[in-house]
Structure 1
Amino acid sequence: MRQLLRFLYGIGLFAAGILHFTRTAGFQSIIPRQIPFKKEIVWISGVIEMLFGGLLLLNKAVTAVSRLLPTFFVAVFPANIYMAVKNLPLNGKQLPKPLLWGRLPLQWLLIRGARKLDQ
């Protein structure tokens, strides 16, 4: 079960990280306007996601990733809240409001699951 969870997180994180570089503008748009250096934040978070995803896929530093990943998910949570409050599209696609708000509890499930990656 842990191997499957690591694989799913690894693929998901690595793919999301790549999207930070191929769809930078979409990710920039969900960062609250008061926060500067949006492009740099998107790129840094993309690198972090690719790094964590790659480590999980290679089954390396799993304990470190499982400890750091929840903090990363908490750090990006404000962007998800901002997106729901402002009803912003995700990479050019407008999602229904219930789906935007439904993503918020999903973030907490991702945090809980990340803690189980090395158990």
Structure 2
Amino acid sequence: MIASVRTALRWLLAIVFALAGYFHIVSPEPFLVITPDWVPMAEQVILLTGIAEFLGAAGLMVPALRGPAGWGLAAYTVCVFPANINHAIIDLTNGTGLPLAYHLPRLLFQPVILWACMWAAELIDWPFGRRRP
């Protein structure tokens, strides 16, 4: 049962990250708007994040690459958190964007996404039991 859930989550993450990667590459404008000003070469960073999402999605599906892909996607999740915070600040301070009801769950869910990347990649078993050698 747990293996089936893990496989389903792996597929879901692969699809979501591949779609996000696609949009980062073909339509970077919305991502440029929310990228913090302190990020250098924002256009190139957004292109590289799209490529990283594609590679991570593909890596999740290849058993030999699953671990590195999980670590990479977990790190990616941490790295984009400032853009998510910036997005919330932009929307909430100018009153024309998405409401707090969107941003608060999104920000609070970020650790869950990080966990999901690591669990789907079989890097951790928590909370479902200890990892067997």
Same topology, TM > 0.5 = yes
Contact conserved, 2:6 with 2:120, CA < 8 A, in 1?
A: yes
Return the alpha-carbon distance in structure 1 between the equivalents of residues 82 and 98 of structure 2.
18
1:116: which partner in 2? 119
TM-score, reference length from structure 1: 0.87
Contact conserved, 1:63 with 1:117, CA < 8 A, in 2?
A: no
Mark the structure with the bigger radius of gyration: 2
Return the alpha-carbon distance in structure 2 between the equivalents of residues 26 and 16 of structure 1.
12
Which of 93, 100, 105 is equivalent to 1:102?
105
Contact conserved, 1:11 with 1:57, CA < 8 A, in 2?
A: no
Question: What is the letter of the counterpart of residue 80 of structure 1?
Answer: N
Return the alpha-carbon distance in structure 1 between the equivalents of residues 121 and 40 of structure 2.
35
Q: CA RMSD in A?
A: 1.8
2:18: which partner in 1? 14
Contact conserved, 1:20 with 1:43, CA < 8 A, in 2?
A: yes
Return the alpha-carbon distance in structure 2 between the equivalents of residues 36 and 115 of structure 1.
28
TM-score, reference length from structure 2: 0.78
Q: 1:60 to 1:29 in 2, by over 3 A?
A: farther
Task: Point out 4+ residue stretches in structure 1 off by more than 6 angstroms.
Answer: none
Question: What is the letter of the counterpart of residue 26 of structure 1?
Answer: P
Contact conserved, 2:55 with 2:69, CA < 8 A, in 1?
A: no
Identity of aligned residues (%): 27
Question: What is the letter of the counterpart of residue 16 of structure 1?
Answer: A
Structure 2 gap ranges (5+): 123-133
1:70: which partner in 2? 74
Structure 1 gap ranges (5+): none
SS at match of 2:58: helix
